[in-house]
Amino acid sequence: MSVRHALLALLMEGPKFGLRLQQEFESRTGEVWPLNVGQVYTTLQRLERDGLVESDDDGGAGAQKDFRITASGQRELAEWMETPPDAGIPPRHELVIKVLVALRVPGVDVHQVIQAHRRHLVEVMQRYTHVKAEAGQHDIGLALVVDAELFRLEGVVRWLDAADARIGQLDAIPDPIPMDVSDSPTIVASRR
Amino acid sequence: MSAMLELRGVSKVYGSGPTEVNALHDVSLSVDRGEMVAVMGPSGSGKSTLLTIAGSLEEASSGDVLVDGSDLRTMSADDRARLRRRSIGYVFQDFNLLAGLTATENVALPLELDGHESGVAHATGLEALKTLGLADRASHFPDDLSGGERQRVAIARAMVGNRRLLLADEPSGALDSVNGEAVMRLLRNATKRGMAGVVVTHDAQLAAWADRVVFLRDGRMVDNTMPPPSPESLLSGPER
């Protein structure tokens, strides 16, 4: 989450001071993302240094100092909204590595390992869903934030389901694969 | 308080000899009033079999099934049929509404079949539709309703009267995620009002609406989630 751009977006509605920006950030992200006020001030200082916001210079310093977005701040925000997030490079997924390891270690039931992770993920999803259910349908900020987490977690559960089914279909022990998992993405690609 | 639904060591075997299939093996599950339980598992894990046995549409090969404290095995066929009509509501993936009946008539049908006078049944049916925000669709036929509306009619039918056990098989199967969520909200509200609910699904987002999730694999219950702790624990973030 770019705190920088979130603050620029809040300033599009008009000048605001730091504490108010912090409160609005939290309420509009469904209070799922806590943000401390110190982080808000550090970010504002950097934005001001980069010419993306400006503040009153008339001595109104401290907590009540108003910040305004500049024209280049507005351009920066518009560009950022349409820039794809960095989703191109697959991260080395810890869960993938754990399942690969479980597949190779003698005496380990890989299905049981998969189920332990599945249960944990579904429990986290239950907690998020509970937050959404209790909040009602009108808190759009919270619903969007929680949905994003739920879709991400669901994706991981679906990967576990697919892994479970794939491994279940193997009737023999698979060909040996190296235990060196430091380059795990290529192991996934080259297996079988 | 006794459970609304209780399965004790339930097994189900289809066929015999070389074609024998163990659809369920020694499954025990207890669902209280006010509780929603989701059953997750891959295709062929026994999820739907569990639901049809709980709803008395099929008999267990062994083990006990108790609905509201009554053992299905010791009940007469008539009593079981009455239990299905009066106490158990079913929601199916494909809605199963009758195309020739209006929304109200579909919802009122189980009451009429149970001997209620037609006017009373219709009034009760209309009331159930109103609860689900469908008052203005009451006289529409299923073909004139959207998928989400059809499923809400089906839920109204499953809740009408004094039903106590709500059984749903992939209840939002063909719906988009927002309509699917609306269906789960309604099922959750129904259980919060005191029904016991069992939802069978392979979809983790739907299962997450339940108070408890149980996992089936090859006909065996292999795991279940713990009751969700307070939502505050999310802020400290175990899963980031």
> Domains of chain A (ranges plus CATH)?
3-82 (1.10.10.10), 94-190 (no CATH)
The stretches in chain B having pLDDT less than 50 are 236-240
Q: What are the tokens at B165?
A: 């056990």
The whole-angstrom distance between residue A44's C-alpha and the CA centroid of its chain comes to 22
Which chain A positions have a beta carbon within 8 Å of B204's beta carbon? 121-122, 125, 153-154, 157-158
How far apart are the CA of B153 and the nearest CA of chain A, in angstroms? 21
Residue-wise pLDDT tens digits, B198-240: 999 999 999 999 999 999 999 999 999 986 555 555 554 444 3
Q: pLDDT tens digits for A28-59?
A: 776 667 788 899 999 999 999 999 999 976 55
Tokens 């959750």 correspond to what residue?
B188
User: What is the rounded end-to-end Cα distance, in angstroms, of chain A?
Assistant: 38
Q: What percent of chain A clears pLDDT 70, i.e. is strictly above it?
A: 78
Round to whole Å and give the CA distance between B235 and B240: 10
The sign of the CA dihedral B55, B59, B62, B67 is: positive
B1-12+22-87+164-227 under CATH 3.40.50.720, yes or no:
no
Q: Residue B149 has which token pair?
A: 């509306």
Give the distance from CA A150 to its chain's centroid: 11
Domain parsing of chain B, residue ranges = 1-12+22-87+164-227, 103-161
* pLDDT per residue as tens digits for the range A155-174: 999 999 999 999 988 844 55
The beta-carbon neighbor of B231 closest among A111, A120, A127 is A127
The Cα–Cα gap between B106 and B51 comes to 22
SS3 content of chain A, % helix, strand, coil (to 5): 65, 5, 30
The pLDDT tens digits of the residues spanning A120-163 come to 999 999 999 998 888 877 788 888 989 999 999 999 999 999 99
Residues of B in contact with A124 (CB under 8 A): 234, 238-239
Which residues 131-190 of B are in CB contact (within 8 Å) with A? 185, 188
Alpha helices in A50-139 (DSSP H): 71-82, 94-104, 110-135
**Which residue out of B181, B185, B216 would a mutagenesis test of the A interface target, given it has the greatest number of A Cβ atoms within 10 Å?**
B181
d(CA A26, CA A188): 39
